[in-house]
Structure 1
């Protein structure tokens, strides 16, 4: 991950919001401006209803689609910060940038395209905050593949098959049913304890799941919906990058086991 951070638009918390919120929600974006108003409205409706203080960190890869002006407008009514990356690209590194700057006790990553239901966020947070002596899970996943989880029919059979094959290839790294999900939560200290982070492609959740050494993984069922606006970022290049990423993670696990 590059350490050459560029200046970004900083918007302080709105009145009444603590400097250290309960939750920081990291949302990587590239040309997702048309989805952000609905996402932010639903996100803060969900956290407000759950009694959680939250901030949203929009990490944008220089979309030039009005995201900057839109975030400035959204920040008038919600604690939204924009981190604008001029010279770096990629969902995984964008997520890591946001996670490194989030101030919440719990860190959440989700997509901007409304495929992940913001209404499920409080359940993810509750899973890692814990209500018992164990202190909750180390890592919580918004899961498509546990009982109660489902995928919108509009996603298409080929994409569902592609997702299940990719998931099966990761079985030697984790027992999680949906380890490739892009909607997940972890505590700040879990993120800080991760091994060296060097993701390839866009499956940052799998990178964090493996390198944090998470032992207790909770999966919260969600309904995954296909985007209705904008275009998918999934390409053949991203699929090949995933295979390279898997190789690196299997090698990491082998080295850790031998140590």
Structure 2
């Protein structure tokens, strides 16, 4: 009789799926960001080297993703999952962070002090939020005695991290929701007039600014939310796997 193929995942299956998502999906997302940047350089008469550099960054990220995958191929090492996951988040940042927020305040014509205050203020806010999330994670482990051992289960020969552990830690740590009610109300009001925003704002800020001002407004809370995911991903799937391996000598694996 012909033997049925095993339904049990083999080592590296999950990582193989993840690298495809990170490389091809990430490339698609970041290319949308580059398209937005191209539109901005055209609207603000910026150097074409800006969007060309963006494309080069997209291709470089795609190649780095596959280069990162090679050392962890056919393994369930959590560190490999963590590194590739951060590259997915970087592609998302390229769209929602650089293309929809930072590009406008870096390259659009505007008052120097307006540019400096917004860029410095918001970047400081992101860094401070990252600091808060790190402390929240530490506090969650301190307040929940068995939380760490539930997330990182030691079976004697290896340490396993369950795929549901990320959500488990999110539930345990303090909630910090960056999406305020005024964003929802603004979305309801602005959405029907989105295509006309540029014309409406042109007499006040100049041609081309309107759509980018709106995209920056809506991308800000997305970035504040994404920094939480980014920090928790680094802490749980990069920092602790390295720390535990150095302390115990046991591999830290993603449980299928």
The answer, yes or no, to whether TM exceeds 0.5 is: no
Greater share of helix: 2
Greater relative contact order (Cα 8 A, min sep 6): structure 1 or 2?
A: 2
> Max radius of gyration: which structure?
2
Query: What TM-score does the superposition give when structure 1 sets the normalisation length?
Result: 0.27
Query: What TM-score does the superposition give when structure 2 sets the normalisation length?
Result: 0.27
Greater share of strand: 1
